[in-house]
A = this chain, B = another copy of it.
């Protein structure tokens, strides 16, 4: 949020001939707002994003991927507030205190809004993420991504939901986009869209917060007294995506609206051109679990098999 001069009035109040002080300033939009109008601004922006990309309607059954962080809880809050049918799915990754804390917050929040929260324990599905990473010697963030994508899709289908909504915010999207742009990777650029359509065993996935920055989302959670986990996953701190986010936040400080311009103009000016170069993925059903897969065995089952095998070998070594 930008610097606010004392006495600055809320722009929307002023338009309604009400004299109320602004409490924050959004430099990207040159907008000074009071608490009430900031909250309605965020909700409106999310609603417009849902409409712009035809994400879902009031008839759809939405499963919100809830991590316990500000973005996913704010998203869940907004979806329900806007009158959509949205329950929650919490995936317990087994990252010690981080997972315990965030699970509690997700549970409390589900009670507050009176919506169902499903909890999936990764330890029962494959193993605790840090253990799986250690034993298979694969980067933890990559494993976490594979496992979450797999479980989200599988359980959404099982539980009868036709939409998965994730809390990716503008900073997340800009960081992905920048990474793909640095490499000019057409394969990824041609797929970077806030909606992934359903079909071939995949549930439709949407990102309704894609135009809300991390700061805006944190402020929204704060104003709505949403109790979210205040620290990052301990394994993500050194990630490339967090570094790109910092770079873009510095750029935004110097040139307000850089993030939203970069993202909006990508979607407006070039996504359609690149989408013509998108290669159709040849999907089949994993011979082990039946879920959609690029290969005979899906990446989740490959990981699981590798983990089981190495775990058994380790057990045997211990016994010997």
Asked if A185 is at the interface (CB within 8 A of a chain B CB), the reply is yes
Q: Which residues of B contact A255 (CB under 8 A)?
A: 240, 243
A31, chain B: closest CB distance, angstroms: 21
Asked if A277 is at the interface (CB within 8 A of a chain B CB), the reply is yes
Taking a contact as CB atoms closer than 8 A, the residue among B184, B243, B254, B269 that contacts A265 in the complex is: B184
Q: Which residues of B contact A270 (CB under 8 A)?
A: 184, 186
Complex Cα gap A182–B251 (Å): 11
Measured CB to CB, the nearest residue on chain B to A264 is: B184
Complex Cα gap A243–B253 (Å): 12
Measured CB to CB, the nearest residue on chain B to A186 is: B269
Complex Cα gap A88–B277 (Å): 44
> Contact at A262–B182, with CB atoms within 8 Å?
yes
> Contact at B251–A247, with CB atoms within 8 Å?
yes
Measured CB to CB, the nearest residue on chain B to A257 is: B182
Complex Cα gap A182–B270 (Å): 12
A298, chain B: closest CB distance, angstroms: 29
Q: Which residues of B contact A269 (CB under 8 A)?
A: 183-186
Mask, A269-282, CB within 8 Å of B = 1, is: 11001100100000
A26, chain B: closest CB distance, angstroms: 19
Asked if A14 is at the interface (CB within 8 A of a chain B CB), the reply is no
Mask, A231-244, CB within 8 Å of B = 1, is: 00000000010010
Asked if A134 is at the interface (CB within 8 A of a chain B CB), the reply is no
Asked if A44 is at the interface (CB within 8 A of a chain B CB), the reply is no
Q: Which residues of B contact A184 (CB under 8 A)?
A: 262, 265-266, 268-270
